[in-house]
A and B are shown apart, each in its own frame.
Chain A
Amino acid sequence: MINNTPLRRLTWRRLRQRPFQYILLIVGVAIGVAMMVSIDLANGSASRAFALSTDAVTGRTTHRIEGGPNGLDEAVYRRLRQELGYPLAAPVVEGYVQAETLGPQPIRLVGIDPFAEPPFRNYFGSGAGGDAGGLTPFLTRPNAIVLADSLAEPAGLGLGDEVVVEINGRFHPTTIVGLLTPQDDNSRRALGNLIFADIATAQELFGQVGRLSHIDLIVPDSALLPVIEAILPADARLETAASQQNAIQQMTAAFSLNLTALSLLALVVGMFLIYNTVTFSVVQRRPLFGVLRCLGVTRGQLFQLILAESLILGLVGAVLGVGLGIVLGQGTVRLITQTINDLYFVVNVQSVTIPPATLLKGVVIGVVAAVAAAAVPAWEAMRTTPQTTLRRSAAEGRIRELLPWLLLAWGALTAVGVLLLWAQAGGLVAAFGGLFAVLIAAALLTPPTTAVLMDWLAPLGDRLLGVLGRMAPREIGRSLSRTSVAIAALMTAVSVIVGVSIMIGSFRSTVIQWLEQTLQADIYVSPPGATATRDTGAIQPDIIAELSAWPGVAQTAVAHPSEVFAPDLGRTVQLVAAAGDVSRGNRPYAWKPDGVENPWLLLGEGIIISEALVLKEGLPIPPPPLTLQTAVGPQTFPVLAVIYDYANDRGTIFMDKAQYAALWRDEATSSLALFVEPGADVDRLVREMQGAINGRQSLDIRSNLALRQTSLEVFDRTFAITSALRLLAVIVAFIGVLSALLSLQLEQTRELGILRATGMTLRQLWALTLLKTGLIGAVAGVLAMPVGYVLAWILIYVINVRSFGWTLQMQLQPGYFLQSLAVAVIAALLAGVYPAWRLGGMVIATAVREE
């Protein structure tokens, strides 16, 4: 029977003797796990919040009849009920409204027929609703609404109170005639963002009299589907409720995956830290292990001992990380929700939901990372022979022997990475796999590169700084097993900073250039939209006419975006109906036929599609004609050109507005661009126009500059979370360097003592320490430059293209690279301050005796 108790006692004593070393390990695991958990929680909370509010509206719906951009004619509902006699159908009119008294977030207003509702949703009637006034006022009072008491009470609202809602730039007073009391937490969250109205009220409010957004159905037997489909008009289609929800979740899938990959990075950097700490603790205990082996401790016991240590410390770190992740999650959920609202759809996250699975995943990944990183040093410990108490120099000698193999491993792993990046079929996950492979390969290249650089720097340092300049690189080179891991960790973190900075910088400058080319008009008019990048609603025709004829306005262009169904693609696509060219022929084209100068002018003869649509759908160049479902049935359009467009990552189709109006029977215009006469004062015109329409419709009237600024604000908000994640990765790397330096210092105690005894002053010892850390930082910073460039290349030309379908122009600025060097050197120097300070307390006589 093997007894491990004495070994456990030894471990416990060591933990107490060298707590700082192990605290750093725990912190490394904790930060890595925290980042992952916080991103996971935020992604999950946003998607759950959306699912809940969608579920609340979907209820027990199995299928849905969808119309075109203008919705459905309500006659379809009548035919369904009367001609087919189909009872399980409920009409819905819905849209987003703004109600100042209920808070700044857009709220979903759902118009329903309470008599058709019971099979679908049970908020009314079946006891769930505390419907004080009953159905009568709901149906009879003009602009009557019902909402959850959890939404009304915080705003100090009750039955009979008025809520002014803003729809499409116009304000409508509504009255609360009923309050719903959600019975559970899920219902409370689901209803927290909903207002119900009678269908006729909703139609009036949204200006959609006679139209429905969709018809919800419960179809228990799929044999009924063809019967229902037979009575549908040309522009309507029957979809399952699940496929619709799925499509919406798909929209943010790439965005979520990008964030998850970035959060994993901190864990990778954290693994370097764990490896470093465990290796150090093994090397330091070699003599002890030698003695233990002599006394009869088996190899297996030693292996278990090291792994068990890492497991326990990893567990502590992971649990702390999960706690920290929950705290950080509160902040990240805000940033992520903002981006989803800006770019995709309206989602209102009231609280961070904490599913146990996410927490468990965080703990498991943290512990597995800790144990995996400890496996190599544990293996080393196992190989300690009873006869030898291997010295560090021997271990370092082995590292030197390993260098050619590391070079080989670098080549092999890079090749794997390139293959993964090459494989189109692998999609985004393979691309991230390739990115990580290239990054880890670069980390493997660190020891050989550091060895060569240090050999080369020692004579140079000698010439410049004398004996200290010679000693610093030599000590780094001699302690490769320790220093190269710290350098690799720092290099990884900093190269990610460089890569992501170049990507964001290139993205930003591409967007700025694109905005400059595309937005040539001087003044832009649109109703305030629910999401920042999309104009919804319509401008009143009289206002369009008035502003177009405004003195000083020379020319106009109008547009109206909508979602249309493309049967070839099996999904809806954004279609922008445009009249006039807001870019004055300056739009950048990804493809246009030879000999055509400005395809925009040919818009009536076909459609122009965005590059994102081509890349997302894998369309060939030139793209084949595209079929769209119109109000007069499916119509096929030739593709005239492919345009760069960074406003929508699902792809956009541009069509002549008159053609659109004829095919979809939709005359609405939601954005108006005005070109002013030369010399006109744009700001004065904007002020005058704002004054003229005041009180008629709430519209955003912005100058070209203001619109561009708003666009860039949205852009910067989108990347705010990326910056935060970059910073965390550097903090982990900083801890890695600090841990490595402290390890080195402990190992070199006797050497430092001799130096002091031989006449090295404390200041010289500080200088030597900071010189070493500065060099560690500089090497990491220098290596991070090419690696960062490669990462940027992958992010721009592979990840971005596969995630969003956008081609960006890479913009290199010396600042990115200088910044990386500065970050690396400063992080390393800061990490060197504490070890240097500790030197002051060294007792030379004790240090010299240290063995």
Chain B
Amino acid sequence: MQKRLPRQIYALWGGAETVPYPSWQTLSSDMPLITLRQLTKTFSEGGQTRTVLDAIDLTVGTGDFVVLLGHSGSGKSTLLNLISGIETPSSGTVEIGGVDITALPDHQRTLFRRDRIGFVFQFFNLIPTLTVLENVTLPQELAGREKTAVSTHALHLLNRVGLADRAHAFPDKLSGGEQQRVAIARAIAHDPMLLLADEPTGNLDEETGQRVLDLLLELTHAAGKTLIMATHNPDIAQLADRVLRVQDGGISNQLSVIGNQ
């Protein structure tokens, strides 16, 4: 809760709302964390309909590291957006931890995302008016948690990504690699069950990209969280539990391909 503001007022703008769904820790391990059923996404462009994802069925288990490979425009990012709920499908359902998020109204879906999902973008996407520390605490502060309490945890995370000394700097003073490390800390600060990463190293040089990737895997996959990453980079695919190719609106297992590379 915020220190000064009456709870009622804070709740009015959707701050201190709780998520009325079962805690993800209570889910049984043999149950899939993500289930996509007949997931379809079409876009209208100039009066024509383009199907990006066509009736996809997919399950992802808890703790899996899944890599999505595909050309630009193949629908990798769209798939991540649909799973995170920032985009709604044309048809089909997305079920995460037993909750059908496609059936939720926008407000509930936002609360669910804020509580259960972490997102790392290609372009770092930090909020320029917030300091490094404030960027990390943002999702929790938006959920109405005490800033000082979440700050301790955030500082701990920043320490782990090697940026504790930059906690009070603004993002524009950081390098690309540093910004992406902050973005990773922000994505895991609220201890989400699922992490989605869209080309997290796509905008970094090879060496920095590798360090960021190592850090991401250490903080998520190694910690037992589910990680789904969209990438062009086949090298990353070698580290994954599963590799899926997104192509022509469909999705296929690519283990053999990876093995050959």
Which chain B positions have C-beta within 8 A of A750? 125
User: How far is B87's CA from A756's CA once the two chains are assembled, in angstroms?
Assistant: 11
A758 and B142: CB pair below 8 A? yes
CA distance A758 to B143 in the complex (A): 11
- Would you call A312 an interface residue if the criterion is a C-beta within 8 Å of the partner chain's C-beta atoms? no
Pairwise interchain contact A467-B134, C-beta atoms closer than 8 A? yes
- Nearest-Cβ distance from residue B168 to partner chain A, whole angstroms: 13
Nearest Cβ in chain B — how far from A17, in angstroms? 15
Cβ of B143 and Cβ of A759 under 8 Å apart? Answer: yes
CB-CB under 8 A for A466 and B186, given A754-B121, A763-B13: no
Whether a CB of chain A sits under 8 angstroms from the CB of B65 is no
Assess whether B186 is in contact with A758, with CB atoms less than 8 Å apart.
yes
- Neighbouring A residues of B107 by C-beta, 8 Å: 761-763
- Interchain CA distance A751-B138 in the complex, whole Å: 13
**Bound Cα distance A466, B137 (Å):** 11
Cα separation A467 to B10 with both chains bound (whole Å): 11
Contact A845 B141, beta carbon cutoff 8 Å: no
Q: Cβ of A844 < 8 Å from any Cβ of B?
A: yes
On whether A764 and B14 interact (CB within 8 A), knowing A464-B4, A750-B125, A845-B78, the answer reads yes
Is A466 a contact of B129 with CB atoms below 8 Å? no
Kindly identify which residue among B5, B87, B128 contacts A466, using a CB–CB cutoff of 8 Å. Answer: B5
* Docked pose: A521 CA to B12 CA in angstroms: 63
Looking at A467, A474, A475, the one whose CB has the most chain B CB atoms below 10 A away is: A467
Query: What separation, in Å, do the CA atoms of A763 and B105 have in the docked complex?
Result: 13
| Interface residue from B3, B86, B128 paired with A845 (Cβ < 8 Å) | B86
CB distance from B74 to the nearest CB of A (A): 15
B234 smallest CB distance to A (angstroms): 24
Instruction: Tell whether A848 is near chain B: CB-to-CB under 8 Å.
Output: yes
Q: How far is the CA of A316 from the CA of B2 in the complex (A)?
A: 51
Contact in complex: B5, A465 (CB < 8 Å): yes
Question: Across the two chains, which residue of chain A brings its CB closest to B190?
Answer: A759
Task: Establish whether residues B128 and A757, one from each chain, have CB atoms under 8 Å apart when the complex forms.
Answer: no
Known: A757-B86, A759-B114, A849-B77. 19 other contacts (CB 8 A): A393-B172, A466-B2, A466-B10, A470-B130, A471-B130, A474-B130, A750-B125, A754-B121, A754-B125, A754-B127, A756-B86, A758-B139, A760-B114, A761-B13, A762-B14, A764-B15, A766-B13, A848-B86, A848-B121
Asked if A467 and B138 make an inter-chain contact with CB atoms under 8 angstroms apart, the answer reads yes
Query: How far, in whole Å, are A430 and B2 apart by their CA atoms in the complex?
Result: 55
**B residues less than 8 Å from A766 (CB atoms):** 13
| Complex interface: chain A residues within 8 A of B15 (CB) | 466, 764
Indicate if B113 sits at the interface (CB-CB under 8 A): yes
Q: Which 6 A-B pairs have the closest CB atoms?
A: A759-B114, A761-B14, A767-B13, A467-B141, A474-B129, A844-B86
A762 to B110, CA, bound (A): 8
A478 at interface, CB cutoff 8 A = yes
Interface of A is mostly: helix
Bound Cα distance from A851 to B87, whole angstroms: 18
Q: Is the CB of B110 within 8 A of A760?
A: yes
Q: How far is the CA of A851 from the CA of B15 in the complex (A)?
A: 29
Instruction: Let me know if A843 is at the binding interface, CB within 8 A.
Output: yes
The answer to whether B100 has its CB under 8 Å from any CB of chain A is no
Provide the B77-115 mask, 1 if CB < 8 A to any CB of A, else 0: 110010010110000000000000000001100110111
| Interface membership of B147, Cβ < 8 A | yes
Q: A478–B130 Cα gap in the complex (Å)?
A: 11
Find out whether the CB atom of B87 lies under 8 angstroms from the CB atom of A845: yes
- In the complex, whether A838 has a CB less than 8 A from a CB of chain B is no
Point out the residue from B2, B87, B130, B143 that lies within 8 Å of A844, measured CB to CB. Answer: B87
Is A763 a contact partner of B5 (Cβ separation < 8 A)? no
* A462 vs B107: C-alpha distance when bound (angstroms): 24
Residues of A within 8 A of B106 (CB): 762
Q: Mark B126-165, 1 if CB is under 8 A from A, else 0.
A: 1111100010011101111001000000000000000000
State A759–B111 Cα separation when bound (angstroms).
6
Residues of A within 8 A of B129 (CB): 471, 474-475, 478
* A residues near B87, Cβ cutoff 8 Å: 843-845
Residues of B near A764 (CB, < 8 A) are 13-15, 142
A-side interface residues toward B, CB under 8 Å?
393, 462-468, 470-471, 474-475, 478, 750-751, 754-764, 766-767, 843-845, 848-849, 851
When chains A and B are docked, how far (Å) is the Cα of A261 from the Cα of B4? 48
Complex interface: chain A residues within 8 A of B78 (CB): 845
Q: List, in ascending order, chain A residues with CB within 8 A of B113's CB.
A: 757, 759
- Complex A-B: 5 CB contacts under 8 Å: A466-B2, A466-B10, A760-B110, A848-B86, A849-B77
Shortest beta-carbon distance, B116 to chain A, in Å? 10
Could you say which of A751, A763, A843, A851 contacts B128, with CB atoms under 8 Å apart?
A: A751
B257 CB, min distance to chain A CBs, angstroms: 28
In contact, B5 and A464 (Cβ under 8 angstroms) = yes
A478 contacts which chain B residues (CB < 8 A)?
128-129
**Contacting pair B81 A761 (CB below 8 A):** no
Closest B residue to A755 using CB positions: B127
State the Cβ distance, A379 to closest chain B Cβ, in Å: 25
Provide the bound-state CA to CA distance between A848 and B5, in Å: 31
Residue pair A758, B141 in contact (C-beta under 8 Å): no
CB distance from A776 to the nearest CB of B (A): 15
Give the chain A neighbours of B14 by CB distance below 8 A: 761-764
Complex: how many Å from CA A754 to CA B125? Answer: 7
Shortest CB distance A468–B (Å): 7
- The CA-CA distance from A764 to B125 in the complex, in Å, is 19
Bound form: Cα–Cα A766–B121 in Å: 24
- Tell me how far the C-beta of A479 lies from the nearest C-beta in chain B, rounded to whole angstroms: 9
Q: Name the one of A393, A463, A475, A759 contacting B4, with C-beta atoms under 8 angstroms.
A: A463
Alpha-carbon separation in the docked complex, A844 to B119 (Å): 13
B254 to chain A minimum Cβ distance, whole angstroms, is 25
Partner of B81, one of A754, A758, A845: A845
A463 contacts which chain B residues (CB < 8 A)? 3-4
| A755 CA / B2 CA spacing, docked (Å) | 19
Whether the pair A759, B110 counts as a contact (CB closer than 8 A) is yes
What's the Cα separation between A320 and B50 when bound, in Å? 44
In the complex, what distance in Å separates the CA atom of A466 from the CA atom of B3?
8
Measured between beta carbons, the chain A residues less than 8 angstroms from B143 are 759
Closest Cβ neighbor of B78 among chain A residues = A845
- Inter-subunit contact A758/B119 (CB<8 Å): yes
Are A763 and B12 touching (Cβ within 8 A)? Answer: yes
Give the docked Cα–Cα distance between A758 and B119 (Å). 7
* Residue from A470, A751, A760 having most chain B Cβ neighbours under 10 A: A760
Is there contact, CB below 8 Å, between B142 and A759?
A: yes
Contacts of A754 in B (CB 8 A): 121, 125-127
Q: In the complex, what distance in Å separates the CA atom of A462 from the CA atom of B146?
A: 11
Distance to closest chain B CB from A205 (angstroms): 76
Contacts of A767 in B (CB 8 A): 13
A484 to chain B, nearest CB (A): 16
Q: Which of B12, B121, B142, B172 contacts A467 (CB 8 A)?
A: B142
Chain B residues whose C-beta falls within 8 Å of the C-beta of A468 in the assembled complex? 13
Tell me the minimal C-beta distance from B133 to chain A in angstroms. 12
Q: Which of A758, A844, A845 contacts B138 (CB 8 A)?
A: A758
Least Cβ distance of A202 to chain B in Å?
77
Tell me if A466 and B141 are in contact (CB < 8 A).
yes
A760 and B4 contacting across the interface, CB-CB below 8 Å: no
Beta-carbon nearest neighbor of A392 in chain B = B128
A478 to B114 Cα, complex, angstroms: 26
**CB closest chain-B residue, reference A752:** B127
Cβ-closest chain B residue relative to A844: B86
How far, in angstroms, from A341 to B14 measured CA to CA in the complex?
Answer: 60
Task: Give A469's nearest chain B residue, CB to CB.
Answer: B5
Give the contacting residue for A760; candidates B119, B128, B142, B172; CB below 8 A.
B142
A746 to chain B, nearest CB (A): 16
Using known A-B contacts A464-B5, A761-B110, determine if residue A393 contacts B128 with beta carbons closer than 8 Å. yes
Residues of B within 8 A of A756 (CB): 86, 110
CA distance A466 to B121 in the complex (A): 25
Nearest Cβ in chain B — how far from A414, in angstroms?
32
- Report the Cα distance A487→B90, complex, angstroms: 43
Tell me the complex Cα distance, A345–B126, Å: 69
Shortest CB distance B146–A (Å): 9
B139 A759 Cβ-Cβ under 8 A: yes
A471 contacts which chain B residues (CB < 8 A)?
A: 127, 129-130
